[in-house]
Chains A and B, each alone.
Chain A
Amino acid sequence: SQTIHQWPATLVQPVGSPLSLECTVEGTSNPNLYWYRQAAGRGLQLLFYSVGIGQISSEVPQNLSASRPQDRQFILSSKKLLLSDSGFYLCAWRGENSNQPQHFGDGTRLSIL
């Protein structure tokens, strides 16, 4: 069966520091991969999605970036974090068929001080 791993679970970072969140999927090949952010008490904001290695689509302009160096690895990065980057970051995967649902990792709770 397919599983998705996301780490770390929680992170506290100072403003201006870099960020790297990693997500890996097991048990499937060529998944669609997604990064979402959820602010406290709010909905899911789609940040990036990827349909293949090296293919990244950005949904919102911001100081975050994403990379997909391997088929089942998706990384969210920032060179300099802002206070507004605080939130719950969720990685998700979906099969190639667009009629399939997305499945989420456990999430990373990021606090910027």
Chain B
Amino acid sequence: RKEVEQDPGPFNVPEGATVAFNCTYSNSASQSFFWYRQDCRKEPKLLMSVYSSGNEDGRFTAQLNRASQYISLLIRDSKLSDSATYLCAVNMDMRFGAGTRLTVKP
């Protein structure tokens, strides 16, 4: 089993849709988790940290489920500019998921 796994997608959604991605991790001792956004041919950029109690930043909501060892990212009211690949990161192992590709269409 890979240390960090994500559904590669692609997720093709219309503007205004709500979309959610999950990311599972294998190391139960992991403490810190993050979501990154990567545009085509660019470096990953930090989108948000994932806190134990869940956290929200505008249209983006991140949650952590320690019991089932996964984190999630919810995007509400999708914009065309949200089209990108979303990577989850687990800092204990310095590992990234392979990314989930999102395309938001008009």
Query: Of B41, B95, B98, which one neighbours A42 at CB under 8 angstroms?
Result: B98
Majority SS of interface residues in chain B? loop
Whether B43 pairs with A106 at a CB distance below 8 angstroms is: yes
A: interface residue count bin:
20 to 34
Given contacts A43-B87, A44-B87, A107-B42, contact A34 B94 (CB under 8 A): yes
Q: Digit string of A41-79 for contact with B (CB within 8 Å is 1, else 0)?
A: 011101001000000000000000000000000000000
Identify the B interface with A (CB < 8 A).
31-32, 34, 41-46, 49, 87, 89, 91-92, 94-99
Contacts between chains A and B (CB distance < 8 A), count: 48
Query: Of A42, A88, A100, A104, which one neighbours B45 at CB under 8 angstroms?
Result: A104
Identify the A interface with B (CB < 8 A).
34, 36, 42-44, 46, 49, 88, 90, 94, 98-107, 109
Whether B43 pairs with A104 at a CB distance below 8 angstroms is: yes
Closest 5 CB pairs of A and B: A43-B98, A104-B43, A44-B96, A99-B32, A101-B34
Q: What is the distance, in angstroms, from A80's C-beta to the closest C-beta of chain B? A: 27
Query: Of A94, A98, A109, which one neighbours B41 at CB under 8 angstroms?
Result: A109
- Can you name the residue of chain A whose Cβ is closest to the Cβ of B98? A43
- Can you name the residue of chain B whose Cβ is closest to the Cβ of A57? B94
Whether B99 pairs with A43 at a CB distance below 8 angstroms is: yes
Q: What is the distance, in angstroms, from A87's C-beta to the closest C-beta of chain B? A: 12
- Give the residues in chain A near B92, CB-CB below 8 Å: 98
Whether A107 pairs with B98 at a CB distance below 8 angstroms is: no
